[in-house]
Amino acid sequence: MGEPATPASFGRLERMLLAAVAALLALALFWLRGGLHPEAALERLARQSPELSTALTNGRPTLVEFYADWCEACRAMAPAMEAMERRHKGKLDVVLLNVDNPSWQPQIESYGVNGIPHLELFDPQGERLGRVIGARSPVELESLGAALVAGDPLPALSGSAPTSALAEEQAAPLATPIAPRSHG
């Protein structure tokens, strides 16, 4: 039969058991934190997004999306936004600005963002062409991207409008400002 366990062999057994438990805990933590799942499209787009000031001055048209991580419509649109950005790589800048980030408050106010998703569209010189509010289909997003790249008129979509020629300082302020996070 086998020899009785000695104190030295018992310590080795404990260490092996402890290592196995540690490996299982590490594996469980890895799995709970998402494992090998790829990063979601919205997070990937936001992380790769150029700075707004760079995008508006580099000679390419720009599509700016005001979004939030918790916004289901923003998350649903993200794969199509990402596909459009890939198709027009180097010809169109796609910038994502999170409405929950206080550093974007001046832009939120400047562009009158009061709901998300909210898209602002700019020509290669950084001049504002229009806006689109609300969730968009992949076909609609691609038509916006293609029009911006080609310099064509923006497609007529529901919830979209050209920007007004009225100077910002002449526009009447809202009696009660509406925050983009106030819907729902």
* 71 given a catalytic annotation: yes
Catalytic residue among 42, 56, 74, 141: 74
Tell me how far apart the 2 most distant CA atoms of the chain are, in Å. Answer: 96
- Residue whose token pair is 């992949």: 138
* 74 given a catalytic annotation: yes
Catalytic residue among 71, 78, 121, 141: 71
* Residues forming the active site: 71, 74
